[in-house]
Each structure stands twice: as C-alpha cells, then as structure tokens.
Amino acid sequence: MERRTLVEFITGWILVFIGGLITILPLVSTISIKTVFIIIISLYGVIHLVKNFLILNSKEYSGFSTSLSSLFVLILMLFLDISEPWNLALILFIWIILMSLTKLKESDYYHDHHNKLWLLNLVNLIIFIVTGILTTINLYYTEDIQILVLGFFFLINGILDLMDPLVAYINNINSVERKVKKAIKKITK
C-alpha cells in the first residue's frame, strides 16, 4: 500500500472511531454540546492537517483546506453561542458548506488527473451534503440528542473519508494483478 493511501486509510479509521465514540458519549457521561462540538472540530482539523503534512509530496492539499475550514468555524464559535440550537445549526451548516467546497475541489483534482475516483468523490460529496443537511435540521432537541446526531454525522463522515483510500487500494491490487497476468502470458508464449 502506498504512503498516501495508507495515511488516508488510517485517518479514515480514526475519524470513524471518533464518530463512534461521540455517538456513545451521551450514554456514558454528561458533557455540554459546546465542549463536544469544539473537540470534534478541533480534532477534525488537526487530524487533517497532520494528514496533509504526511502526504505533502502528493500535491493534494485537501487536508490543509479542511484544517482551514475547521479553524474558521472555531473562530466563528467565539462570536456565537452554540448552546442555542439555531447557532449550532448555523455553524455546522457553514462548516458543511466549506467542507463541500473542499470535497468538490478534491473531486476536480481526481478528474483533472483522469482518475476514476472522481466519481466516488462526487457521490461522497452528495452523501455528505445530504447527511449534513439532515443533521443540521435535527439539532433542535436536548443536548444528549444533539450529541448523538453529531456523532452519527461524524461517523458517516469518517466512513465516507475511508471509502477513497479503500477503493484506491483495491484498484491498485487489481492493477498489479492485471500486470502479473500479462507478464505470465508473455513468459508462457
């Protein structure tokens, strides 16, 4: 597995784990939605910034723009009280818009390099937007429900981030397999 795919694969699993952890958080302890949301966005930004520096030579900067989107949302949280559902929904919606632009740019990057993963990224973008809008709509309940909804959203987002390296890895295996078969045919002729 090449370095970029491995880093993205590990990052995807970390995000799935964080989403799952947040999903069960209301069952284990009582914590404010503001604290949970700040932790989620901060971790998301830091994880993608580290990912960006680990795969810097691949000339793909989606991790950096994801980190900037998370930083912008954290700065925006200084001015809005997210314990109110409207403000929480607004900030999450802004983050979804910024992340959608990042995901669209990543899909365009793959399309420009004639990589068929652009279709997967486009489908992931649509699923991300739909789940993001559904999450934003459902943030008007108690804090436990808000944390649960955010947990499911970030769990789904982690699974979507995991799809790209998984498909790239399977595609590389199939490519190597085809090359081996061609080499065997040449040898046996």
Range of the domain at 99: 3-188
User: Is residue 89 predicted with pLDDT exceeding 80?
Assistant: yes
Domain count within the chain: 1
Count, residues in the chain: 189
- Count Cα atoms within 13 angstroms, Cβ side, for 43: 18
pLDDT band at 73 (very low <50, low <70, confident <90, very high): very high
User: Is residue 44 predicted with pLDDT exceeding 80?
Assistant: yes
Q: How far apart are CA 92 and CA 75, in angstroms?
A: 13
Between 56 and 14, the more confident residue is 14
3-state secondary structure of 1: coil
Residue partners of 43: CB distance under 8 A and separation at least 6: 18
**What are the pLDDT digits (tens) for 135-186?**
998 888 888 888 888 989 999 999 998 988 888 888 877 777 777 888 888 8
**Average pLDDT for residues 85-89, to the nearest whole number?**
87
Q: What is the pLDDT of residue 64?
A: 84
